[in-house]
Amino acid sequence: MKTGIKIDLPSIKLQRMEIFKRGIEQSILALQSNAAAAPYPKAKAVDYSTLDERYFLTVEQGWIAPPHSLVNAWFEQFKSTFPEYGSDSSLAVLLGIHSNGASRRIREYRNGEKPIPYGIWRKFLVITGRVPQEIYPVFGVFDTKED
C-alpha cells in the first residue's frame, strides 16, 4: 500500500499576489524609516542662495542638469559623511553605476567633463533627502486574472 503526503498550496496567482502585497508593506516600512533619517548640515562649499530650483525637478517638470561644482560639493559632502562611500567607486555602486570605469564616470560628473544624467542625479537627491521619493500608482496587477 502506497501512502503519500499531500500538501495543499495556494495557486501561483495567489502566491504572486501575496508576494506583491508583502513587497508593498516592506516599501511602506522603508518610506517610514526614510522619514526618520538623521539631519545633516548644509555643505559649506555651496552658496544655497544661487541654486536653481530646476535642479530638483523631474524631467517632466523642467529639470536641468546642475553645474559640476554643485555635483562635486554634494558628492564630497556625502563621501565625507559616510566613510563607507568615501571613494568614487563605492559612490558609483550606490548610485547604480556598475560598469567598468564607474569611478571614472563619477569623476567626469564632478569635474564637468560630462553633465550628470537625470536618473543618477535624482537617485542621489532622494538618498540625501533633498527630494521625496516618487511613488508610482499601480493601475492593476496584470497577468493574474483568468480569461
pLDDT, tens digit, 9 for 90 and up, residues 61-104: 999 999 999 999 999 999 999 999 999 999 999 999 999 999 99
Q: Burial of 50 by CB count in 10 Å (0-12 exposed, 13-18 middle, 19+ buried)?
A: exposed
> Is 132 part of a structural domain of the chain?
no
> Is 85 part of a structural domain of the chain?
yes
Q: Looking at residue 145, what is its pLDDT? A: 81
pLDDT, tens digit, 9 for 90 and up, residues 109-142: 999 999 999 999 999 999 999 999 999 999 999 9
Sign of CA dihedral 124, 95, 61, 108: positive
> Is 119 part of a structural domain of the chain?
yes
Domains in the chain, number: 1
> Is 54 part of a structural domain of the chain?
yes
> Is 122 part of a structural domain of the chain?
yes
Q: What is the rounded average pLDDT of the residues 11-27?
A: 94
* Residue 32 cell numbers, joined: 517610514
**Contact status, residue 56 vs residue 48, Cβ threshold 8 Å:** no
Q: What is the rounded average pLDDT of the residues 2-30?
A: 92
**CA 8 to CA 11: how far, in whole Å?**
9
Domain that residue 113 falls in? 48-127
**Contact status, residue 87 vs residue 138, Cβ threshold 8 Å:** no
Task: Annotate 30-67 with DSSP letters as a single string.
Answer: HHHHHHTPPP-PPPTT--GGG--GGGGS-TTTT--PPP
> Is 87 part of a structural domain of the chain?
yes
The number of residues making up the chain comes to 147
* Residue 134 cell numbers, joined: 516618487
**CA 44 to CA 74: how far, in whole Å?**
10
> Is 1 part of a structural domain of the chain?
no
Please report, for the domain that includes residue 121, its CATH number. 1.10.260
Q: Burial of 17 by CB count in 10 Å (0-12 exposed, 13-18 middle, 19+ buried)?
A: middle
